[in-house]
Amino acid sequence: MRVRAGFIPLVDAAVLVATADRGFAAGEGIDLELVREVSWSNIRDKLNLGHFEAAHLLAPLAIAESLGLDYAKVPLLAPVVLSQNGNSILLGNDTYFALSALAEGDLDDPAVTGAALKKLIAARTAKGEDKLSFGMTFPFSSHNYLLRFWMAASGIDPDEDVRLVVLPPPYMVDSLTSGHVHGFCVGAPWGSVAVEAGIGRIAHLGTDILATCPEKVLGVRAAWAEENAAALNALTRAVIRATAWCANPENRGELAHMLAAPGRLNVTPDLIVRALQGRLKIDPPGRVRENARYLVIDSTLARPEARQALWLYAQMVRWGQAPFETAQVEAVNACFSPATYDAALASMTQRPVLDDGIGAYAGPPSIPLISLLIWRR
């Protein structure tokens, strides 16, 4: 069966790219055609309208579409988690140095940079200067929530004290160069591209803010899934096999060259390898930060879990994007139902083991879901 799937040029598209380009889909009888898109709104629209059967999708976006929080209500299913983490917060050089001058403590500590950012905002306000602008990829995205989590923990109101603007990932670097934003939160490799261009510095890895955060999923329309159960099961098996291949460190070189191709990410393989290794060059002089969980691609974590989806829904409630309703909780659970995963891989005994919450620097390592669901600003 032919399946068209949209993707954004990001390193965390690795699993879907490997599924197609290394023959895992063909091995399951799926003719998988990947279509590169520039923005998440394009992915959303083409998936909703049936131009795509599947997509490399922001985990929160799958939930938002299912709840009708965006422009349309289209129930989606996320049968596989493609990745966790993988983002960074980058500041333009001038903003970074201005913030550094106000910081008291270790600049690798998000509490320190958050406090300095609050001082910088106050100083700019006193001078009558424009608000600082930060790019993020979509309103329903971990990038939005990472920025908000970081700022709010230091007493900054992200809806009032700064401007958060939506930018497609490939346009982040140009937007910083042109002065349209002072910084951004984005997935690999675009933070590294900005560092290589000498125009910015990675202030934080996403894991500095949230130790574990569901990032991308395989997204399909629930109606398509019901009508094409056999094809979806085959695609799910192919994706999980591709996940295991991508997770093997021995395959990183081949995977990086696969992703670097002009029709995929069209960047140098070195930038991709750094992201896969969790060894990021964070400033033009060459300082490197390492975190093995910077970007997590792992077949043992590919099974969708309701607790992941509920945490993301909690962020939507916290930031006024959604009401807290029992019916919506049920829809969130349905979106991240593991039924398809379990049916496709019934012969496999390995199951993911996840925490009950999301690790955060500003709170305890595991935050009970009920607390997140009632937590407001």
Domain count, the chain: 2
Q: For residue 192, what are its two tokens?
A: 């590294």
Residue 29 lies in a domain: yes
Q: Which residues are 110's β-sheet partners?
A: none
- Looking up tokens 């139902």, which residue turns up? 337
**pLDDT tens sequence across 316-353:** 999 999 999 999 999 999 999 999 999 988 855 444 44
Shared domain for 92 and 171, answered yes or no, is yes
pLDDT, position 359? 53
Q: Which residues are 290's β-sheet partners?
A: 279
Q: For residue 5, what is the enclosing H or E element? A: strand 2-7
pLDDT, position 376? 40
Cis amide bond preceding 189, omega within 30: yes
Residue 22's nearest CA partner among 187, 296, 303, 261 is 261
Shared domain for 198 and 233, answered yes or no, is no
- Amino acid, res. 142: S
Shared domain for 57 and 204, answered yes or no, is no
Cβ pair 36, 7 in contact under 8 A: yes
Ranges of the chain with pLDDT below 50: 349-357, 361-377
pLDDT, position 360? 53
pLDDT, position 345? 82
**pLDDT tens sequence across 83-110:** 999 999 999 999 999 999 999 999 999 9
Domain that holds residue 176: 87-208
Residue 310's nearest CA partner among 338, 331, 295 is 331
Shared domain for 338 and 236, answered yes or no, is yes
Residue 66's nearest CA partner among 329, 358, 375 is 329
- Looking up tokens 């591209």, which residue turns up? 193
**What is the CATH classification number for the domain harbouring 117?**
3.40.190.10
End position of a domain, from candidates 208, 230, 254: 208
Shared domain for 99 and 199, answered yes or no, is yes
Q: How far is residue 103's CA from residue 314's CA, in Å, rounded to a whole number? A: 31
